[in-house]
Amino acid sequence: IPNTTIGGKLIKTSDSARYKALGNSIALPPWRFVLGRIYKHGARTLGSLFDGIGGFPLIWSELPGTATLWASEIEPFCIAVTKLRLCGLKGGRR
- DSSP summary character for residue 88: T
Q: State residue 1's pLDDT score.
A: 66
- Measured CA to CA, the distance from residue 51 to residue 81 in angstroms comes to 10
Pinpoint the alpha helices (H) of the chain: 15-23, 28-40, 55-61, 76-86
Residue 55 near residue 33, CB atoms below 8 Å = no
Highest mean pLDDT among 10-14, 42-46, 65-69: 42-46
φ and ψ at residue 18, rounded to 5 degrees:
-65, -40
φ and ψ at residue 48, rounded to 5 degrees:
-115, 105
Among 31-35, 77-81, 88-92, name the one with the lowest average pLDDT: 88-92
**Global pTM?**
0.72
